[in-house]
Amino acid sequence: MDFKETIQFIQEKFKSKDFIPLHNPIFEGNERKYVMDTLDSTFVSSVGRYVDRAEEMISQISQTQRAIAVVNGTAGIQVALRLVGVNPGDEVLTQALTFVATANAIQYNGAQPVFLDVDYDTMGLSPRAVSEFLEEFGERRETGTFNRKTGKRIAACIPMHTFGFPVHLDELMKLCRDWNIPLIEDAAESLGSEYRGKPTGSFGKVGVFSFNGNKIVTSGGGGMIVTQEEEIGILGKHLTTTAKVPHAYEYFHDQMGYNFRMPNLNAALLCAQLEQLSYFLDRKRRLAAEYSTFFESQGIIFRKELENTKANYWLMCVELGSLEDRNFFLEKTNGKKVMTRPIWQLMYRLPMYDHCQRDAQTNAEFLEQRIVNIPSSVTQEYQLVNSK
């Protein structure tokens, strides 16, 4: 297979034989109006009405009690870990098949990741892998769950909804309850995705979204922490705004905080993007359906949502037959200016994480050799005509 038909299909779909990016943002709503409003108001930094409005919008979209706007998703995970009680020297269960930010945020807290396998169907953290690890290494104590091999406390579990496909949350949540391990959803890629009719990010003790420039909605840079627990939300807002105690003029900070506030300028862009979220989701699902039909005709697996889930199809992907097929596909598509990218290298292949405890990674290594992301922007024929 030379993938000529695939390249032609994508070029026709995006109406271009020039460079076709992986995921291009669309600014066809109130973005310019809201950003100019912040400039006119002079409130462009971390105080302004768009920050409050963005938090309210995300709280409604994610069906959570509180949302805290932050500078990016990585910072959000870093703070989320602290909010659930992760301390230096602790361990956090997560997946090796993820973007590096997940592991980095753990290490920023002085903790260490333990890498467990993913499920083949979700490409996200496997409940079976977590269960097998805890049965072999877990030890329940009055002060929490500990790793018998290392003696360290297992202070949290972070599944990541890979490319917007929800993990098997029911099983993971039950395991975390049984072992008294807080669950944090790395929902950076899954805004708009659902599991059994509920939004991702709303299941864990804390959830975190990202609004980087390539996400389904963007604020240029930015993220959001969400939670169902009011006290966690209040503490999260306090910590991310330098832990400053409110006062008319005094500067008193009652603990180590972070200057992780989202600027009002970015929040204005985010509000305009969030107004179009349902539109983006609908158009991306149409593109996914067309991709699915096309790749089925080519004998190539196109990754689709599972029963009882709804994926946002942030980055769409295909599964090739082998590492050689994957590399050939990458070479041919990129050679024709159609941007495609392999899934991430597994975290334990990186020098700063090669010492971390891990399991066999059977599914993760299989997927690492076969999964490729393909152009996933809303295509031109579906773009919204700006009538506002």
Q: pLDDT by residue (tens digit) across 192-214? A: 999 999 999 999 999 999 999 99
Residue 380's pLDDT is 52
Residue 207's pLDDT is 98
Residue 348's pLDDT is 98
Per residue in 103-148, pLDDT (tens digit) is 999 999 999 999 999 999 999 999 999 999 999 999 999 999 999 9
CB–CB of 86/131 below 8 Å? no
| pLDDT of 381 above 80 | no
Q: What is the mean pLDDT of residues 18-31?
A: 95
Per residue in 177-187, pLDDT (tens digit) is 999 999 999 99
Residue 385's pLDDT is 41
Name the average pLDDT for the chain.
Answer: 96
At residue 379 the predicted structure's pLDDT band, cuts being 50, 70 and 90, is: low
Sheet with 184-186, strands from edge to edge, namely 66-70, 223-227, 206-210, 184-186
At residue 160 the predicted structure's pLDDT band, cuts being 50, 70 and 90, is: very high
* DSSP secondary structure of 312-374: --SSEEEE-SSHHHHHHHHHHHHHTTB--EEPPPPGGGSTTTTTS-B---HHHHHHHTTEEEE
* DSSP secondary structure of 293-314: HHHHHHT-EEP-PPTTEE---S
Residue 383's pLDDT is 47
Percent of the residues in the chain that have a pLDDT greater than 70, as a whole number: 97
At residue 382 the predicted structure's pLDDT band, cuts being 50, 70 and 90, is: very low
Per residue in 32-89, pLDDT (tens digit) is 999 999 999 998 888 889 999 999 999 999 999 999 999 999 999 999 999 999 999 9
Percent of the residues in the chain that have a pLDDT greater than 90, as a whole number: 95
Is the entire prediction scored with pTM above 0.85? Answer: yes
Within the chain, all domains assigned CATH 3.90.1150.10 are found at 4-24+277-382
CA angle, corner 211, sides to 294 and 276, nearest 5? 65
Within the chain, all domains assigned CATH 3.40.640.10 are found at 31-274
- What is the CATH number that goes with domain 31-274? 3.40.640.10
Instruction: Report domain 4-24+277-382's class.
Output: alpha beta
Residue 388's pLDDT is 38
